């Protein structure tokens, strides 16, 4: 159980922060950038949910929001090898979370018409917000892949982020009246 009775601690006033294992690192460290971008994505997802209240989409978005907290907990915890030796295993993204996204993508995509053009972010309010989530998800993935090039990162975390941006793309199309409300790109239309 988490208990937060004091919000400010002053421990980061000089530009560093604590990771999940207690190690102090600069706030600009690649690991902090990766899980900070996941946190940003979660905030954008909270905004998107305002346009999905009471729908199946909202239920799926709530699951993803919870997954994103799991992902942040995973990314803020370095030294995966040492973690395997602890009395309690730290929270990590697992393959079944990635598989669930794949099944949901397939289910949403089954009712969509194939794309014959690239689409522009927009259409319905929910679709536009899901496209924002898609792009922030891609940035979180880039930050996590960059981190993985330097330090150990759970490979399922990278897979989850890669699948998640695809999920947001298909969900945005679904939120656009099954793709009928997609805004199509017209190459060179404003020349």
- d(C-alpha 159, C-alpha 168), whole Å: 14
Judged against a pLDDT cut of 70, whether residue 82 lies above it is answered with: no
- d(C-alpha 168, C-alpha 173), whole Å: 9
Q: What Rg, from alpha-carbon coordinates, does the chain have?
A: 19
Q: Report the DSSP beta bridge partners of residue 17.
A: 25
- Supply the pLDDT for residue 9: 81
pLDDT per position as a tens digit, 102-135? 999 999 999 998 888 999 999 999 999 999 999 9
Q: Is 178 helix (H, G, I), strand (E, B) or coil?
A: helix
The answer as to CATH 1.10.10.10 being correct for domain 23-78+92-178 is: no
**pTM metric for this prediction:** 0.92
Q: Where are the alpha helices (DSSP H) in the chain?
A: 30-49, 56-75, 80-83, 95-110, 125-148, 155-175
């Amino acid at each position: 159980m988490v208990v937060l009775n004091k919000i400010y601690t002053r421990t980061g006033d000089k530009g560093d922060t604590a990771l999940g294992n207690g190690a102090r690192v600069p706030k600009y460290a690649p690991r902090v950038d990766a899980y900070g971008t996941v946190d940003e994505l979660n905030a954008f997802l909270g905004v998107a949910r305002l346009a999905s209240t009471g729908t199946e989409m909202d239920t799926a978005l709530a699951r993803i929001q919870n997954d994103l907290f799991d992902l942040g907990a995973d990314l803020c915890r370095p030294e995966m090898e040492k973690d395997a030796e602890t009395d309690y295993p730290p929270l990590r993204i697992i393959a079944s979370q990635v598989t669930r996204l794949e099944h949901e993508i397939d289910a949403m995509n089954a009712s969509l018409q194939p794309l014959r053009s690239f689409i522009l972010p927009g259409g319905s309010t929910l679709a536009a917000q899901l496209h924002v989530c898609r792009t922030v998800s891609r940035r979180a993935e880039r930050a996590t892949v960059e981190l993985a090039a330097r330090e150990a990162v759970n490979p399922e975390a990278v897979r989850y982020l890669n699948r998640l941006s695809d999920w947001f793309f298909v969900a945005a199309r679904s939120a656009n009246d099954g793709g009928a409300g997609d805004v199509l790109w017209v190459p060179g239309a404003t020349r």
